Structure 1
Amino acid sequence: MGAEELPSPLPKKYEQSPLILGLQPSALIDHIARVDWSLLDQIPGERGGSQPVAIEELMHILSEVKTHILLSPDDPSPIRTIAGGSVANTIRGLTAGFGVTCGIIGAYGDDEQGQLFVHNMSFNGVNLSRLRMKKGPTGQCVCLVDAVGNRTMRPCLSNAVRLQVDELTKEDFRGSKWLVLRYGIYNLDIIQAAIRIAKQEGVSVSLDLASFEMVRNYRSPLLELLESGDIDLCFANEDEATELLRGEQNSDPEAALVFLANHCKWAVVTLGSNGCIVKHGKEIVRVPAIGEAQATDATGAGDLFASGFLYGLVNGLSLEDSCRVGSCSGGSVIRSLGGEVTPENWQWMYKQMQIKDLPVPNLCK
């Protein structure tokens, strides 16, 4: 959406380039609610995945949520509204929980949701000098969480303001080490442009496969991206990994890991409660999930795993220890609603890292 860019109230100059950048062309606000099964039965599309909806459908779901809330004694706030989006979750986790300097490239609308996104991300220390304000609405997503912590997402980005390809500059990327991306067919043009500039500036690229529906429905352009050799690190969950090799003789997560590692330096397949498997060169590591994590809401589990894993990579940790940190951070976010880790759960994560003899970020010492 080529909306008019407005003068930004955000600071344009920071002292240093962020170590890690996230590209999220459209800022997004998550409405997370714990609901009963009957509401999920009424909503089109498969449970557990992510399927775009129009703004009318999103507003309808939000109105229905109020009569389907599952109250929990552990969580007095049954609905949370926070800055969201996979990339934003990962970047926010890296700054707030690990003290890694991060920035986000994208656009937000001149509305209440846009202001909420800006406030939440800046409060958590994210560099917003590459975030543009535009005239129009900010993207929104309803995240419905069932009684056992599984989440179903219905994003609405069709009318949201969006960063355009010609708005990317080399200066956005200069001096940074990593670019974090999420695969999406609607953003394919800007993803390709960002990768091209990142590679020119010597920035490594991390790609998350987004959702099993996205992999299933838009597999060909995804394969082209992977086969380009420009993706240095790829994250897939078990469902996405299976979809990637659908129709092949062997489409299990291990086969997908090998496939991804043929095209990327680091390949990561997360397996939920079974942990993760990772391949780098000839090294393959399998790390169990953290046993002490109680799943309240799976939203952001993969995003925060990526935060921990990237923290490990940029700090020179071994492949296994990077996975173990990812397991701790992924375990921290599922203990409460939404893709943002609470202060109490960061403390829980630091304690888990200490128990496992992992280097704890300086900011918590």
Structure 2
Amino acid sequence: MGAEPLPATNHHHHHDHNHTNGGEAPLVLGLQPSALVDHVARVDWSLLDQIPGERGGSIPVAFEELEHILGEVKTHVLSSGEEACSPVKTMAGGSVANTIRGLSSGFGVSCGIIGACGDDEQGELFVTNMTCRGVNLSRMRMKKGPTAQCVCLVDELGNRTMRPCLSSAVKLQWLLLRYGIFNLEVIQAAIRIAKQEGLLVSLDLASFEMVRNFREPLLQLLDSGNIDLCFANEDEATELLRGEQTVNPEVALEFLAKHCKWAVVTLAANGCIAKHGKEIVRVPAIGESKAVDATGAGDLFAGGFLYGLVKGLSLEACCKVGSCSGGSVIRSLGGEVTPENLHWMHKQMQINGLPTPGIHSS
């Protein structure tokens, strides 16, 4: 979906005991949807008087304004020591990245970061800087586009004024969750962080037993307004409406749509229904899928639907991709699509006029 794993790096770790790029999982993971590169310079008061916004604050600027400020820095720099030769110090930045890098390089704690960087010079700098400090970037993705940047202007008293350029920068878009009572606190915390960072949240209702036995916490999650997309199968939808006078997939769809931007109820061999805003679509199952094993059908449907959203497809097209994807996994045992069935899925997408993925990432 336009995001590739970062290529393997050969940088040595800052500490011999901090093997964060090895096999073990990091102890601490930071979520920073957009990698960020800081351009830090000590400048005199006159430059701070020229740029919009208050001193000491942080307001977003367009790329042209960022470049203008960087150009002006050279004539307003407070020269002392090494800064006289290199007035602007450039490094990986962002609050989360700073904390993670400090934990890794200063304390030897194994750390990683989740996010996306652009395929540009700044993205390469972010990767190099963080990797050299022992941070595990296996969960970082490189996407086509620019990496976020920020000019950090430091006055003679040491106070900083920041002007970030984030508008066109690449970032992660979605957080995917499966409802479960045993990790409810983790789910709630992850949703809070995701919304603070501007991510969209997708929730799968997991199983009809989970909905039946722990319905109230689920309703509270939906009532929070933080779930942007919700998937339910017919059994889960029935349990969600337990006690209502009318219980059917259409009523369940309306209920979910009151709480979520996108609501989807899958109907097994009967396809699915979905709602976004005032638009409601019903899409039949696609292809002559022989249901060898239903394991992963809903999961793969969700993956296809999300592919459609990321690609900007219509609601109907998102459902069709989901149907192709879900239909591909039930043709063999297990929740992983075999190469043969992946080929089947792409063929079904082509037949239905849907854009197929360019390169399949492993």
Q: TM-score, normalised by structure 1?
A: 0.54
Q: Structure 1's 7 and 104: CA in aligned 2 closer, same or farther, altered over 3 A?
A: closer
1:164-200 Cα shifts (integer Å, max 9, x gaps): xxxxxxxxxx931100000000010000000000000
Match for 2:285 among 284, 289, 296?
A: 289
**Counterpart position of 1:320:** 316
On the 8 A contact 1:10/1:128 being kept in 2, the answer is: no
Aligned match of 1:343? 339
For residue 264 of structure 2, what is the amino acid of its counterpart? V
Name structure 1 gaps, 5 residues minimum: 20-102, 106-126, 131-173
The alpha carbon displacement at 1:278 in A equals 0.1
In structure 2, the gaps of 5 or more residues are 1-17, 27-31, 35-112, 116-136, 141-169
Report the Cα offset of residue 312 of structure 1. 0.1
Query: Percent identity between the aligned chains?
Result: 72
- Structural mapping, 1:100-119, within 5 Å: none
Q: Which residue of 2 aligns with 1:189?
A: 185
Q: In the TM superposition, what are the counterparts of 1:73-84 in structure 2 within 5 Å?
A: none
Structure 1 CA distance, aligned partners of 2:180 and 2:25?
28
Note if 1:129 corresponds to 2:125: no
1:268-310 residue CA offsets vs partner (Å, 9 max, x unmatched): 0000000000000000000001241111000000000001000
Question: Does the Cα contact within 8 Å between 1:11 and 1:129 map onto a contact in 2?
Answer: no
Matches within 5 A, 1:137-216: 175-216=171-212
Distance 1:11 1:359 in 2: 37
Give 1:11 deviation, angstroms.
Answer: 9.3
- From the superposition, tell whether residues 224 and 193 of structure 1 become closer, same or farther in structure 2 (CA, over 3 Å): same
TM-score, normalised with respect to structure 2: 0.55
Distance 1:252 1:128, change over 3 A: farther
Whichever residue aligns with residue 328 of structure 1, its letter is C
Match of 2:127 in 1: none
**Aligned AA (1:287):** V
* Count of matched residue pairs: 210
Superposition pairs of residues 1-365 of structure 1, within 5 angstroms: 9-10=22-23, 128-129=138-139, 175-363=171-359
Q: In 2, are the aligned partners of 1:183 and 1:207 still within 8 Å (CA)?
A: yes
Could you report, residue by residue, the CA deviation over 1:302-350 in whole angstroms, capped at 9, with x for unpaired residues? 0000010000000000000010000000000000000000011000000
2: distance between equivalents of 1:231 and 1:218? 17
What is the letter of the counterpart of residue 139 of structure 2? S
Looking at structure 2, the residues matched to 6 and 298 of structure 1 have their Cα atoms a distance apart, in angstroms, of: 40
Q: Which has the larger radius of gyration?
A: 2
3-state SS of paired residue (2:356):
coil
Letter in 2 for 1:276: C
